[in-house]
Amino acid sequence: MGETVKVIGAFDSPFSHRAEVALRLKGVPYELLLEDLGNKSDLLLKHNPIHKKVPVLLHGDRTIPESLVIVEYVDEAFQGPPLLPADPFDRATARFWARFLDDKCSTPFWLSLWTEGEVQQGFMKEIKGNLKLLEGQLKGKRFFGGDTIGLVDIAASGFAHWLPLFEEVAGVTLATPEEFPDLCRWGKDYTSHDTVKQCLPDRATLLARFTAKKDMFVSTVKSMAPKS
């Protein structure tokens, strides 16, 4: 029997999902400790004092924060199907697109939802352009990882499950099947995957929560969006 594995996560969080899905794909049992991000626990603050964010992986006495660092750790520390390709160039490519998602997609995505007018149009153009680049990486494969789910699929999971929900709450359309046929098809394949389904938060609950928080989301971007 190996050491205890726990994930400090949050119900709503796509980053938290990344950690969970990596563990499940590797067949690693874990305990999920759910945080109320409005009232962070001492456990979270102790284990991620730098960023104070979820997810955090606890493996025995080891602490690993940052979702993409966690995914690579899970891939290396546990047996089971690989989450990264074997070839170094393919690995570099996977890491590149995983970082692209976090560095270039998260912020314009968020801003495109909650801003208005010309500013919003600008962010929508940016996120759509970046999603197009990402979609290009599918190249007829079922998943970014090929036949099986890999690092890029996990990194992009927010766009599979959370994107349509946020579009609904915000009343914004970013990725239609007409404009993004491969990406939308991938999103369906990802969210219906047997292992993935086990750790995706329930759609209806998420929708209700995000709808209730809409005003708060709008206020967060006011400090982020450039002044026009």
Partner 1 sequence: MGDHELKLLGMWASPFVLRARLALSFKGLSYEYIEEEIFGNKSALLDKSNPVHKKVPVLIHKDKSICESQIIVEYIDEVFSGTGPSLLPVDPYDRAVARFWAAYIDDKLFSLFMMMIKGKTTEDKAKGRRHSFAVAETLEGALKGCSKGKSFFGGDNVGFLDIVLGGFVAWVHTRDILSRSKQFDAGKTPLLAAWLERFCALDATKAVMPDVEKLVELSKMRQARDDAAAAAVSQSN
Q: At what angle do helices 106-114 and 163-170 cross, to 10 degrees?
A: 20
Q: How far is the CB of 66 from partner 1 (least distance, A)?
A: 6
Quick one: the chain helix, strand, coil %, rounded to 5?
Answer: 60, 10, 35
CB of 96 or CB of 176, closer to partner 1 = 96
CB of 129 or CB of 177, closer to partner 1 = 129
Residue 99 CB neighbour total at 10 angstroms:
12
What's the CA gap between 179 and 154, in Å, rounded?
22
Stretch of residues binding partner 1 (CB under 8 A), selected from 23-31, 62-70, 176-184, 218-226? 62-70
Region 28-57 residues binding partner 1, contact defined as CB under 8 A:
50
> Phi and psi dihedrals of 64, rounded to 5?
-130, 110
Amino acid present at 106: S
Q: How far is the CB of 150 from partner 1 (least distance, A)?
A: 16
What's the CA gap between 85 and 42, in Å, rounded?
37
CB of 52 or CB of 188, closer to partner 1 = 52
Q: How far is the CB of 84 from partner 1 (least distance, A)?
A: 11
Which H/E stretch holds residue 56?
A: strand 56-59
Q: How far is the CB of 95 from partner 1 (least distance, A)?
A: 5
Cα–Cα nearest to 133, from 164, 103, 91, 168: 103
Instruction: Determine if 216 is a binding residue for partner 1 (CB under 8 A).
Output: no
Region 83-112 residues binding partner 1, contact defined as CB under 8 A:
88-89, 91-92, 95-96, 99-100
CB of 56 or CB of 149, closer to partner 1 = 56
The two structure tokens encoding residue 43: 């456990």
The binder of partner 1 chosen from 19, 25, 58, 64 (CB under 8 A) = 64
Binding mask 120-159 for partner 1 (x = CB under 8 A): -------------x--------------------------
- Binding residue count for partner 1, defined by CB under 8 A: 22
Cα–Cα nearest to 133, from 97, 184, 84, 176: 97
CB of 127 or CB of 170, closer to partner 1 = 127
Check residue 227 and report its DSSP letter: P
Residue 184 CB neighbour total at 10 angstroms:
19
Instruction: Determine if 66 is a binding residue for partner 1 (CB under 8 A).
Output: yes
What's the CA gap between 41 and 57, in Å, rounded?
15
Give the footprint of partner 1 on this chain (CB under 8 A).
50, 59, 62, 64-66, 68-70, 72-73, 76-77, 88-89, 91-92, 95-96, 99-100, 133
